[in-house]
C-alpha cells in the first residue's frame, strides 16, 4: 500500500511570507543589531508557525519613532527567519517590555533612513488587508501578519525599487536607540 506524507508536511514545504510589525524604535534597533526577534508569547498562530526560511518584510509603524504625524508606516527591509520560535534561556527586555520567546533572523540590507515602501498607499491591493476598508491598520496590532504570494511579490518589487543598501551602511540611524544588549533585570 502506498503511504503518503501527512498533509501538514506539504503545507510547511513552502516558505511563508510575513509582515513583521515593529512599533518601537528601541526594539527595531535591537532586532537589526542582534539579528534576533522576540515575541511576548506563543499564543498567536502566526508566531507558532514561523519557521526557518520564512520571509519577513520588516514594517515600522507610524509611531515607531515617536512622531506619528511626521513618520509614515514603511516596509524598510526583507529578511529571513533562520530558526524556529522557541522559549529563550533569558527573556529579553526591550522598550519596557519582556519577551520570553524568540528566533534568529537575518536582515542584510535595509532602506536608507527615512525611506522605504509606504504601506498605506498599497493596502487596497494587498490580500492581507482585504475587506478592512479604512480600518486596515487594525491588522497591524500583532507581531506578524501573514502575506499571500502576491502580496510578497508586490512588496519585494517596491522595496527593490527603493533600493535597499547593505545593512552596515544604514544601521546607525535605526540602531541609535539600542546601544548595548539588555537582558531581563538590566536597567
DSSP per-residue codes, 19-37: EEEE--HHHHHHHHHHTEE
* 125-159: b (≥16 Cβ within 10 Å) or e: ebebbeeeeeebeebbeebbbbbeeebbebbbebb
Longest dimension (CA), the chain: 64
Say which residue, 187 or 47, is predicted with more confidence: 47
Sequence spans of domains, the chain: 16-172
Q: pTM for this one?
A: 0.86
In CATH, 16-172 is 3.10.590.10: yes
The percentage of residues in the chain with a pLDDT greater than 70, rounded to a whole number, is: 88
Amino acid at each position: 500500500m502506498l503511504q503518503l506524507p501527512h498533509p501538514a508536511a506539504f503545507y510547511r514545504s513552502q516558505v511563508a511570507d510575513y509582515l513583521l510589525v515593529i512599533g518601537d524604535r528601541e526594539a527595531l534597533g535591537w532586532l537589526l543589531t542582534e539579528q534576533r526577534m522576540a515575541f511576548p508569547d506563543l499564543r498567536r498562530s502566526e508566531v507558532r508557525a514561523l519557521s526557518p526560511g520564512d520571509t519577513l518584510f520588516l514594517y515600522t509603524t507610524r509611531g515607531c519613532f515617536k512622531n506619528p504625524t511626521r513618520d509614515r508606516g514603511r516596509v524598510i527591509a526583507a529578511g529571513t527567519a533562520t530558526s524556529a520560535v522557541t522559549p529563550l534561556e533569558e527573556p529579553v527586555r526591550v522598550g519596557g517590555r519582556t519577551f520570553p520567546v524568540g528566533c534568529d533572523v537575518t536582515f542584510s540590507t535595509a532602506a536608507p533612513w527615512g525611506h522605504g515602501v509606504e504601506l498605506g498607499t498599497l493596502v487596497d491591493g494587498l490580500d492581507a488587508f482585504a475587506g478592512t476598508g479604512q480600518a486596515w491598520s487594525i491588522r497591524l496590532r500583532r507581531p506578524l501578519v501573514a502575506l499571500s504570494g502576491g502580496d510578497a511579490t508586490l512588496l519585494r518589487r517596491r522595496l527593490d525599487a527603493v533600493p535597499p543598501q547593505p545593512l552596515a551602511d544604514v544601521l546607525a540611524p535605526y540602531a541609535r536607540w539600542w546601544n548595548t544588549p539588555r537582558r531581563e533585570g538590566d536597567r
